Amino acid sequence: MRLKQKLQDVLPKEQLGHVSNRIHVIGDVAILSLPAEVEGNKEDIAEAVISQNKNIRIVLDKISKLEGDRRVATFEVLSGIGGTVTNHKEYGFTYRMDVTQVFFNSHLSYEHQRVASQVRPGESVLVPFAGVGPFVVPIAARGAKVMALEKSSSACRWLAENLRANDVEERAAILNADAFCVLQMINRTFDRAVVPTPYGMDKILETIADAVRTGGAVHFYAFKRRQQIDGLSKKYEDMGFEIGLCRRCGNVAPGVSRWAFDLVKC
C-alpha cells in the first residue's frame, strides 16, 4: 500500500494532496520532505511510514536543501529510535554512515553499479568527491587501485570504515583534501576517473582532463536542463573528449536533472 493510501485515515483530505509517495530510504532510515501544509501532522505521517515498513526504524524530515560543500541537508527526527547512523546495503556491499552528516543518494545505486561494471582488474582509478564510497568500494572490488579524494573529514571517516567493512582497504587510498587543490599536486595519470561532481563544480573537468591518460575514461556527472546538453556535449568534444554515453539519472530540481557522461580522452 502506498503512503498516501495509508494516510487516508490519518490526514484530512485537503492535506493529503500535499504529501508525496516518494520516500528516500537509506538503510533503516526513511527521509521525507514534508511541506508546511502538513506541519501539524508530521508525527502521524512518520508513524504511518514506520507501521507500513517493518524495515524502517526511524523517520526524518528533511527541512532544508542540500547545503555547503558537504552537500548535506538539515533534518528533524519525527519518529523512531536509535539515532541516525545506519547500514545501507547495495549490490552486496554495505555502507555505514550518519545520514545527517554526509551525502548519500540511494537512488543512484544503478549508476554506482553501471560505472563499476566497466572497470577492469589492475586499472588505476581516481574518484574525487568520494563521499562514503558508493563508487570507490565497488570499483576497488573489481580489482582496481583507487585514489579517493574527499574534503569532509566526517565522510572520510565513514569511507575508511566502509573500505574495511567491504574488505577493499588494500585497494584504495583516501586523501582528505580539496580536489581542486590536491589534483594539481598529484603528478601522475590514471586509467579512469569517476567524478560525482557536486552542484556547480563542473570546472573540475579541466583538471581531471590532465589527470587521465590518453585513451582513458571519465565518468562525469553534471546538473543541467535538457536543452543545455547539446551545447555541453560540444564543449566536452572541444576539450578533447569523445562522448561514449550520455544518460539522465534523476531530477534534482524542476527542469534540472543529473546527467552522466561517459567520456574517453582522445
Task: Name the residue whose CB lies closest to ligand SAM.
Answer: 131
CB of residue 115 vs ligand SAM: minimum separation in angstroms?
10
**Type and span of the H or E element at 176:** strand 172-176
Q: Contacts with ligand SAM in 23-52 (CB under 6 A)?
A: none
Which is it for strands 124-128 and 85-90: parallel, antiparallel or unpaired?
A: unpaired
Nearer Cβ to ligand SAM (45/217): 217
How many residues form the binding site for ligand SAM (CB under 6 A)? 23
Nearest Cα residue to 90 out of 31, 134, 57: 134
- Residue 95 makes contact with ligand SAM by CB under 6 A: no
Q: What are the b/e assignments for 182-220, b being 16+ CB within 10 Å?
A: bbeebeeebbbbbbbbbeebbebbebbbebbeeebbbbb
CB of residue 99 vs ligand SAM: minimum separation in angstroms?
11
**Type and span of the H or E element at 180:** helix 179-185
Q: Contacts with ligand SAM in 163-222 (CB under 6 A)?
A: 178-180, 196, 198
Nearer Cβ to ligand SAM (103/259): 103
CB of residue 97 vs ligand SAM: minimum separation in angstroms?
9
Instruction: Report the distance separating Cα 38 and Cα 266, nearest Å.
Output: 53
- Residue 259 makes contact with ligand SAM by CB under 6 A: no
CB of residue 26 vs ligand SAM: minimum separation in angstroms?
10
Give residues with Cβ within 8 angstroms of 27, minimum separation 6. Answer: 86, 87, 88, 89, 99
CA R_g for the chain: 20
Instruction: Report the distance separating Cα 127 and Cα 156, nearest Å.
Output: 13
CB of residue 53 vs ligand SAM: minimum separation in angstroms?
23
Convert 231-253 into a string of H (helix), E (strand) and C (coil).
HHHHHHHHCCEEEEEEEEEEEEE
Q: Contacts with ligand SAM in 51-90 (CB under 6 A)?
A: 69-71
Which residue has 533503516 as its cell numbers?
Answer: 28
x/- track of binding to ligand SAM for residues 111-140 (CB under 6 A): -----------------xxxx--xx-----
- Residue 151 makes contact with ligand SAM by CB under 6 A: yes
- Tell me how far CA of residue 266 lies from CA of 1, 82, 179, 181, 203, in angstroms: 51, 51, 23, 25, 19
Nearer Cβ to ligand SAM (155/222): 155
Instruction: Report the distance separating Cα 78 and Cα 56, nearest Å.
Output: 13
Q: Which of 146, 149, 208, 218 binds ligand SAM (CB under 6 A)?
A: 149
- Residue 104 makes contact with ligand SAM by CB under 6 A: yes
Nearer Cβ to ligand SAM (30/159): 159
Residues that bind ligand SAM (CB under 6 A): 69-71, 103-105, 108, 128-131, 134-135, 149-152, 155, 178-180, 196, 198
